[in-house]
Chains A and B, each alone.
Chain A
């Protein structure tokens, strides 16, 4: 770890002291952070999901209140101030979701910001004028009178940034602004921002996952992991592998060897699949992937690589537009989830809302994937005893800790909830299980337990498609590793040839470490 960079208090535009943030019930997201940012620089903040980047920025702008600690902006204390007050002092933030009003056009969206909307009667000239001026300066052309909802996503993102810049901003924070931009456009944006930094002393903090541009534009890079800042340095002193290691922070574990590798036809095969998740808008393009019997395939990628669409695409929860998904000889590309489940393909998805009904009991949840089959229901009646028996089996076989069989699933800890989902998939004798971040939020012991079950499935001749953020897991257990980047498969390599640095680099879009 490189030494922290100290910034003298006077030059600091944003200063954070002992900042801690805990969300109920007991989730600590920021851990005693001290930070000082200098005026007139561009900072890049990187880190995995849940590292705390967004939370840090949201506390700075005033959307969240810190659990403890203090914040200072331009030398004055702003702890506990409202968003409006902070914006008036010169802060601005572009959040991950679009904050534009889709039924307004760009001019209106600009004019409703604080700076331009002080009058009573509507007057769009002020905001509109600044907007066009900026657009001209940054060479951005689009129809500002079109409703934002009808603009293409990249234009929306640009309008988002532009309208903030139209105000008098001293500190601009952008949370993953490049999600909807191509690398070229992101470069354009960063270039423009860099000019503004140089010309007006604007300070910019940007969170991103695209490594390419990371080294070119920002002045300093900060890496966050598990709520703390683990690395801070100017770009010259940094090598990509330093960054990778800081971001993932793990030493690879001992690999387990597969007992048998069956080279026969794959159990699950995706061919040139295009898919869109309507809910999140993310998509996959041209995915080709195979899972053989007795194989554990690991899929990794950064937060926006599209890997969160993969599981849904396989399970019939996304919109598959092109290509095919073949399972056990059948084309399931257009099948509904229930059909897919009954064929022996099940999943453990990251989004627990899709998997469990919180207020229903353990047994009820376990039955979700097969309640319509015997013995769980005959005609119209549910066989409660069969469900209870299933619950008992799950509790013993998977060591699920619950106060009682009938207790609603929401009283279980996150880890145990995941075990329930996993139990459900495995107890049904599935042939292939798609596991998406099955160990997220689990302690080491439970993580290992969970992975062991998956490995056992593989050893029995089943297939596992492991889509995970935990590089360590993938490195330890996978037989083959696929790396997704920007929605397509970038690299495929057998685990025997993979090193942590190599894979980490692929994830960030580099060709080698």
Chain B
């Protein structure tokens, strides 16, 4: 039976990846770095998490695999984009292709017969089992952590010195450099954080949503994050809120099928993307500081 609470339940169950990847994208773009390949990072982390989960049956380990890989990717990305100053669009695309390509390859390494098997998922918290409110109060820990991450991210960005310096780096790297802000280090950290969040997001698909694995499990979320950040104007609070809204939109496809009958689920999915694009365009047109960090995507060089 599909009704509103069920739809909302699904929405919140599936919101962590969108929230985390969008916040991650927000972080690195704030510091002036693109992370177009985030989808690829998420895919690799997701698949590796699955492999680890199946082979070790250790939930904690599985959860940690994603972010650990994320650290490695963050550093790698930083070397390419920050240290070497390569074109960020191409690097990002390349990483995406690598991720998409290696995705099934990693799973291929599983011992015979394990592929496709289900995996333990995070338990639900079961605070209240009420038929109506359970959609928000009966989720797994991760959902709550992800939701909490939104205000935390905002606090870190706007109420700490590190966050302020990160913003400075993205707006005026040369100016920040001359007052002694560690520009390269800040960009590195932002990329690592971004990829770690991506790692968490990717892994969650396995142990939080699906309890299993398919090829391409992340479904383009890593790219959606790019749009979400722009709609939220690089403000973690807005970004987080829009992520949740998107999640609700996505799960609406099920509801719509019942209510509207003939309209296919794909319609809502593509509507979500369309809405994102339109939102980006509109916020660009009418919003004031819509351009984002002034030095976004521009590799900083001293000489």
Instruction: Please tell me whether chains A and B touch each other in their complex, using a CB distance cut-off of 8 A.
Output: yes
Are A95 and B178 closer than 8 Å at their CB atoms?
Answer: yes
Interface residues in B125-175 by Cβ distance below 8 A to A read 158-165, 167-168, 171-172, 174-175
Q: When A23-B303, A112-B165, A112-B181 are in contact, do A120 and B160 touch as well, CB less than 8 Å?
A: yes
User: Assuming A64-B303, A83-B180, is B160 touching A104 (CB within 8 A)?
Assistant: no
Instruction: Please give, as numbers and ranges, the residues of chain A lying within 8 Å of B176 by CB-CB distance.
Output: 99, 101, 112
Contact B162 A83 (CB under 8 A): no
Residues A101 and B303 in contact, CB atoms below 8 Å apart: no
Given A98-B175, A101-B172, A120-B161, A84 and B302 contact (CB-CB distance below 8 Å): no
- Contact of A83 with B164 in the complex, beta carbons under 8 Å: no
Instruction: Give the nearest-CB partner of A122 in chain B.
Output: B159
Docked complex Cα distance between A117 and B165 (Å)? 9
B15 vs chain A, min Cβ distance (A): 29
Asked whether any CB of chain A lies closer than 8 Å to the CB of B179, the reply is yes
| A38: B residues at CB distance < 8 A | none
**How many Å lie between the Cα of A268 and that of B161 in the bound state?**
56
* B167 in complex: contacting residue of A23, A84, A98, A103, CB < 8 Å: A103
> Which partner residue on chain A sits nearest B302 by CB separation?
A63
In whole angstroms, what is the CA distance A113 to B177 when docked?
10
Shortest Cβ distance from B156 into chain A, in angstroms? Answer: 10
Q: How far is the CA of A92 from the CA of B180 in the complex (A)?
A: 9
Distance to closest chain A CB from B40 (angstroms): 30
Contacts of A118 in B (CB 8 A): 161
Which chain A residue shows the least CB distance to B179? A113
Query: Are A83 and B177 neighbours in the complex by a CB distance under 8 Å?
Result: yes
In residues 258-303 of chain B, which contact A (Cβ within 8 Å)? 289, 294, 302-303
For chain A, the bracket of interface size reads 20 to 34
Q: Which residues does chain B contribute within 8 Å of A86, judged by CB atoms?
A: 180
Q: Is the CB of B159 within 8 A of A61?
A: no
Closest residue of chain B to A84 (Cβ to Cβ) is B180
Tell me how far the C-beta of A178 lies from the nearest C-beta in chain B, rounded to whole angstroms: 18
Report the minimal beta-carbon distance from B10 to chain A, rounded to whole angstroms.
38
A87→B161 contact, CB < 8 A: no
- A95-143 contacts to B (CB < 8 Å): 95, 97-104, 108, 111-114, 117-122
Contact (Cβ within 8 A) A114 B161? no
A114 to B180: give the CA distance in the assembly, Å.
Answer: 6
Nearest neighbor of B185 in chain A, beta-carbon distance: A84
| B161 x A119 contact (CB < 8 A) | yes
What B residues does A84 contact at CB under 8 A? 180, 182
Q: B178 near A114 (CB under 8 angstroms)? A: no
Least CB separation from B164: chain A residue? A112
A218 CB to nearest chain B CB (Å): 23
26 A–B contacts from the bound complex (CB under 8 Å): A63-B302, A64-B302, A64-B303, A83-B177, A86-B180, A93-B178, A95-B174, A95-B175, A98-B172, A98-B175, A100-B172, A101-B168, A101-B175, A101-B176, A102-B171, A102-B172, A103-B289, A104-B167, A111-B164, A112-B161, A112-B164, A112-B179, A112-B181, A114-B179, A120-B160, A122-B159
Q: Measuring CB to CB, which residues of chain B are less than 8 angstroms from any residue of chain A?
A: 158-165, 167-168, 171-172, 174-182, 289, 294, 302-303
Those 3 A-B pairs whose CB atoms lie nearest each other, nearest first: A99-B175, A87-B180, A117-B161
